[in-house]
Amino acid sequence: MGQHLYGSFRDLNPIEMTWSKVKAFLRKAQARPSPICSPQSPSALASIAPDDALSWFTSCGYSFI
């Protein structure tokens, strides 16, 4: 009747890898939660380089050739 697809593929999801890096940056900066957003959030997002994104997508099986 078709293939069963699992509900979650966190190991194969580049978005999960992105948030993992952002959270690690914020932990290292000892960011504290605020009602809106941590002041370190822009720096955390800026720490993601284009090469990071490319390698995360590649490791998840996406091909850009």
Q: What is the pLDDT along the chain (65 residues), one digit of tens a residue?
A: 445 444 555 566 888 888 889 888 888 888 776 656 677 888 888 999 999 999 988 888 888 76
Structure tokens at 51: 């090469």
Q: d(Cα 11, Cα 8) in Å, to the nearest integer?
A: 9
pLDDT at 11: 63
The whole-angstrom separation of Cα 42 and Cα 23 is 12
pLDDT value, residue 49: 94
